[in-house]
Amino acid sequence: MQMTDNWTNRWNERYAGNEFAYGEEPNAYLKAQLTELSVGNILFPAEGEGRNAVFAAQLGWTVAAFDISNEGQKKAIQLADKNKVTIDYQIGALETLNYKEGQFDAIALIYAHFPADLKSQLHQALDKYLRKGGTIIFEAFNKKHLAYLAKNEKVGGPKDIESLFSIEELKADFHNYEIQTLIETEIELKEGLFHNGLGSVIRFVGHKK
């Protein structure tokens, strides 16, 4: 499940600036959900510049994160140092990393928009690293979001419908989960430079059976 060089270069370019592309504050939905859970081990796939991982570490979680972007990792370590916390942030595709089966109590997928041909494979591959009873927290743009993007490019998100998510896809990808929340909703985003305005998202919280 290797990402292309073009995909890697795109994210390195986005994260290379001095400002944080999506801000330094955690995603609001993640923040609300994470504070409801007992602290433990958590994994952040496609974690970019580290805002969510750093927040979890501040709450006392043992945090692992990965991405394909070296520039994202640099910013994440910088943010962790600024906030006096430690995160284990690795670079590479999931299958190249040394995570163990059942290692995590929670996995947070926050705007983890993988290439369309890989997204379901990655969701299913992540499952084995979550313990039984563990929690998935997910927020990302749904397929209705293209209409919002057409009105306002500043809201961000993929421009092809295949990279966006549907309730049916998430039910299939996480079929072995007890669903706590699975909704499509319109929200106002104000996250850094690239998530600003009304968008259409899916929010999902599930517990592994």
Judged by DSSP in three states, 42 sits in: strand
Which domains, from first to last, does the chain contain?
5-208 (3.40.50.150)
What is the rounded CA–CA span in Å between residue 103 and residue 43?
9
Let me know if 156 is exposed, middle or buried by CB neighbors in 10 A (0-12, 13-18, 19+). Answer: buried
What digits encode the pLDDT tens for the residues 31-41? 999 999 999 99
Q: Is the pLDDT of residue 57 over 70?
A: yes
Q: Residue by residue, what is the 3-state secondary structure of 61-104? A: CEEEEEECCHHHHHHHHHHHHHCCCCCEEEECCHHHCCCCCCCE
As a whole number, mean pLDDT of residues 140-149 equals: 97
pTM of the model: 0.95
Q: Which DSSP state fits 188?
A: E
The C-alpha atoms of residue 103 and residue 118 are separated, in whole angstroms, by: 23
* CB of 146 closer than 8 Å to CB of 164: yes
CB atoms within 10 A of CB 108: 29
> What does the pLDDT read at residue 144?
97
Give 174-202 pLDDT, tens digit per residue: 999 999 999 999 999 999 999 999 999 99
